[in-house]
Amino acid sequence: MIKEKFENKVWLASPYIHEEERKYVKEAFDTNWMSTVGANINELEKNICDYTGCGNALALSSGTAALHLAVKMAGVEQGDIVLCTDMTFSATVNPVVYEKAVPVFIDSERETWNMDPKALEKALIKYKGKVKAVIVAELYGTPAKNDEIENLCKQSGVPLIEDAAESLGALYKGRKAGALGDINVISFNGNKIITGTSGGMLLSKDKSLIDHARKLSTQARDDAPWYQHSEIGYNYRMSNLIAGVARGQLEHLEEHLAGKKAIWERYAAGFEGLPVQMNSWEEWAEPNYWLSCFIIDENAFAAGFTPEKIRTTLLEYNAESRPIWKPMHMQPVFADCDYIQTGEENICEDIFRRGLCLPSDLNMTAEQQDTIIEIVKSLYNA
Ligand SMILES: *Cc1c(COP(=O)(O)O)cnc(C)c1O
């Protein structure tokens, strides 16, 4: 083959760290705020509110914990139906099951790979009166058709939960991801556009909702001098050390966005002429370019140019790529759940079968990326 393997692994997406993170973590040590309270938490919440324009934020131990509280705050209870993005990470859906509610999976549209409003409408009719929430994930950092989805939710009186775990920094018609639903979730997991090493956040315009979630996240103590509880609580609060990392990262979000965009554009230019289409969006969106992905034309499969061939070859060169999220309705654990599509063909299944997430790491050099492009090209011309 054409090249030596990479000496250091080229990752799909790994942390990209600056000096400020160390500074804020050191401050926590120096001031002994080594707990789930402290200046880093307060500043992170404030700065995320300022950035997203969403009025109230609650820093939590993970995006999954934030999704769990989002589901609870939406009033979801045992036996309720929750309509969920089908093609996403399982953490979008698991909290529905924590509450013994029933997820129903909604197919994607081709323009953004996100929840199809037409399929959502069909599901809202099928499950009229039983739906307690809609959870929309913004796949790989690309906003969904939010106005259409929001209108359908409003008409049905159902709260919209935005899973913006992958999409912080993205714009929908000039509005920031993380402020697009009634209840919104972001993640600071190690592979996201910015990280706290872990962590997440719940956001809402509704102050009383965030106040209630804050109480539940800190063991649901009533306002009394002794430990008194009228509700079941959780230990979901973010650590002040982790908040220090996320606080430092947030100061570099714009730089990360530019870096991710440059990676996407380099792939798009490099793959010109190949039978692939990069992940896309419509003119009203500015994605955060978290992961660069493509789907391969059907007719190239016969020549052996398949996502799995590319993935395993890149791995031989010590570079990590990854299949598209396997749709939830294809997961063994959700085999009994209903899923809704508009036509004969399931779009999520098609994108899963033909798609691949490419190495999109901010630590990847342009030379490394050029080598990756060359390897992919050599597989088509082989
Ligand atoms: C990463 C991710 C989550 C979970 O976030 P954690 O902080 O890892 O718990 C939820 N939903 C989506 C779509 C994600 O990509």
- Residue 327 alpha carbon to ligand 1 centre in Å: 15
Q: What is the pLDDT along the chain (382 residues), one digit of tens a residue?
A: 567 899 999 999 999 999 999 999 999 999 999 999 999 999 999 999 999 999 999 999 999 999 999 999 999 999 999 999 999 999 999 999 999 999 999 999 999 999 999 999 999 999 999 999 999 999 999 999 999 999 999 999 999 999 999 999 999 999 999 999 999 999 999 999 999 999 999 999 999 999 999 999 999 999 999 999 999 999 999 999 999 999 999 999 999 999 999 999 999 999 999 999 999 999 999 999 999 999 999 999 999 999 999 999 999 999 999 999 999 999 999 999 999 999 999 999 999 999 999 999 999 999 999 999 999 999 997 6
DSSP states along 84-150: EESSS-GGGTHHHHHTT-EEEEEPBPTTTSSB-HHHHHHHHHHTTTTEEEEEEE-GGG----HHHHH
Q: Tell me the two tokens of residue 200.
A: 């997440």
- Residue 311 alpha carbon to ligand 1 centre in Å: 23
Out of 58, 94, 138, 163, mutate this one to test ligand 1's pocket (max ligand atoms within 8 Å of CB): namely: 163
CA angle 107–110–116, rounded 5-degree value: 35
Q: What atom of ligand 1 comes closest to residue 88's alpha carbon?
A: 13
Residue 53 dihedral angles phi and psi, to the nearest 5°? 80, 5
Residue-level pLDDT at 284? 96
- Residue 137 alpha carbon to ligand 1 centre in Å: 9
Residue 338 dihedral angles phi and psi, to the nearest 5°? -75, 155
Instruction: Identify residue 117 by its one-letter amino acid code.
Output: P
Do the Cβ atoms of 343 and 112 come closer than 8 Å? no
Q: What atom of ligand 1 comes closest to residue 91's alpha carbon?
A: 10
Residue-level pLDDT at 2? 63
Residue-level pLDDT at 185? 98
Q: What atom of ligand 1 comes closest to residue 137's alpha carbon?
A: 13
Whether ligand 1 lies within 6 angstroms of the CB of 327 is answered as no
Q: What atom of ligand 1 comes closest to residue 67's alpha carbon?
A: 10
Residue 110 dihedral angles phi and psi, to the nearest 5°? -80, -25
In 3D, which of 117, 188, 183 has the Cα closest to residue 156? 117
Question: In which region does residue 145 sit, left (phi positive, over 0), alpha (psi from -120 to 50) or beta (all else)?
Answer: beta
Residue-level pLDDT at 252? 98
Out of 89, 142, 217, mutate this one to test ligand 1's pocket (max ligand atoms within 8 Å of CB): namely: 89
Residue-level pLDDT at 176? 98
Residue-level pLDDT at 1? 55
Closest CA to ligand 1's atom 8:
189
